[in-house]
Amino acid sequence: MLLLIVVSSIAQEKRNELKVELIVDKENNYSTTVAESPYFVKEKVLQIYPGEDLNIEVEINEGNISTMKVVDAVKFPERTISVRFFSGI
Tally of domains within the chain: 1
The domain of 49 spans 14-84
Question: Is residue 78 a part of any domain in this protein?
Answer: yes
- Which is nearest to 20 in space by CA: 29, 7, 28, 12? 29
The predicted pLDDT at position 56 comes to 94
Let me know if residue 70 belongs to a domain: yes
Distance separating alpha carbons of residues 69 and 72, to the nearest angstrom: 10
Please give the pLDDT value at position 7.
Answer: 40
Q: Are 38 and 16 in contact (CB under 8 A)?
A: no
* pLDDT tens, per residue, the chain with 89 residues: 444 333 445 678 899 999 988 888 889 988 999 999 999 988 888 999 988 999 999 998 998 888 999 999 999 999 999 999 887 66
In a domain, 89, yes or no: no
| Residue 46 maps to a domain | yes
Give the pLDDT of residue 4.
39
